[in-house]
Amino acid sequence: MKYLLLKLDEEKYWFELDDDKYATRQIILDKYNKFHFSCLEDCLAEGLIDETDIEGISINLKKQDFESIWASVLKQYEKQWLEIKTRYPIGTFVQGVNSYFYPQGAIIKGKSFTAIYKGEEPFCLNKTVQYKVKSYDEINMWLVVE
């Protein structure tokens, strides 16, 4: 994994990149000082991140620097995450909508949760789906479904 901070005009972008240079997690601080997280909304960079083709100032980060910022800005959602895990224990069936596709899998949005599906079923955008909670992705605060 590689970690980057991109400063562009009044905005900042933090990236976690896999070995193929695709973003797997991202934080955006917009010009209004509002944070956006790829685990809570569809704001993950699409396609390959080519550092030689990036506008703005690009700074390499250590993993611990990225993890520290990720944890600190998501701390406000910890109580909500605990409530979600209580409401949807492993083995529970959940219903949601195929909302977008990330390198990690299909992202399903429910009324009060976000889940990820990594299986073989074809991804059909905006399709209502039902899956069983298999585990939890603690880092992204996602239900992992099958």
Does 108 lie in the same domain as 42? no
Domain boundary among 28, 52, 76: 76
With contact defined as beta carbons under 8 Å apart, do 43 and 34 qualify? no
Range of the domain at 55: 2-76
Q: What confidence tens digit (pLDDT) does each residue in 12-51 have?
A: 999 999 999 999 999 999 999 999 999 999 999 999 998 8
Does 61 lie in the same domain as 22? yes
Q: By percentage, how much of the chain surpasses pLDDT 70?
A: 100
Tell me, yes or no, whether 118 lies in a domain: yes
Query: How would residue 54 be classed by pLDDT, with cut points 50, 70 and 90?
Result: confident
Domain count within the chain: 2
The CATH number of the domain holding residue 105 is 2.40.50.140
With contact defined as beta carbons under 8 Å apart, do 27 and 38 qualify? yes
CA distance 114 to 136: 11
Tell me, yes or no, whether 71 lies in a domain: yes
Name the phi and psi angles at 81, rounded to 5. Answer: -65, -40
Tell me, yes or no, whether 82 lies in a domain: no
What is 63-107 written as a DSSP string?
HHHHHHHHHHHHGGGHHHHHHHHHHS-TT-EEEEEEEEEETTEEE
CA distance 116 to 133: 10
Average the pLDDT over 80-103 and give the result.
97
Q: Mean pLDDT for the chain?
A: 95
Give the torsion through C-alpha atoms of 28, 58, 66, 39, to 10 deg. Answer: 30
Does 107 lie in the same domain as 67? no
Tokens representing residue 105 in the block: 């899998």
Tell me, yes or no, whether 81 lies in a domain: no
The predicted pLDDT at position 63 comes to 98
Tell me, yes or no, whether 83 lies in a domain: no
Tokens representing residue 20 in the block: 């193929």
Q: By percentage, how much of the chain surpasses pLDDT 90?
A: 90
Does 94 lie in the same domain as 64? no
Tell me, yes or no, whether 32 lies in a domain: yes
The predicted pLDDT at position 93 comes to 98
3-state secondary structure of 44: coil
